[in-house]
Amino acid sequence: MKRQGLFEVYVSGELVYSTNDEIAALDKIQDLALDYHETGVPDPSTIEFVRHGETESLPNRENNY
């Protein structure tokens, strides 16, 4: 299921990719991972994936029977 919202990818705090397509944002993270394995940069610990405005909610574990 495709989630609606804004998806952003940051490297070292700098916005490198922004889209409304979650799959495209995850593809960008995969590209960054391949770059790391091929060139040694960017450092994976500096990559951040941010979701804004999701429409899907998760169940509350305390009340989930």
Sketch the domain layout of the chain as residue ranges: 6-55
Q: Counting Cβ atoms within 10 Å, is residue 5 exposed (0-12), middle (13-18) or buried (19+)?
A: middle
Residue 55, pLDDT above cutoff 60? no
Best CA proximity match to 30, nearest among 15, 20, 14, 17: 17
Q: Are 29 and 49 in contact (CB under 8 A)?
A: yes
Q: What is the pTM of this model?
A: 0.73
Q: Which residues pair with 17 in a beta bridge?
A: 9
Q: Which of 15-24, 28-37, 46-55 has the lowest mean pLDDT?
A: 46-55
**In this prediction, what percent of the chain has a pLDDT beyond 70?**
75
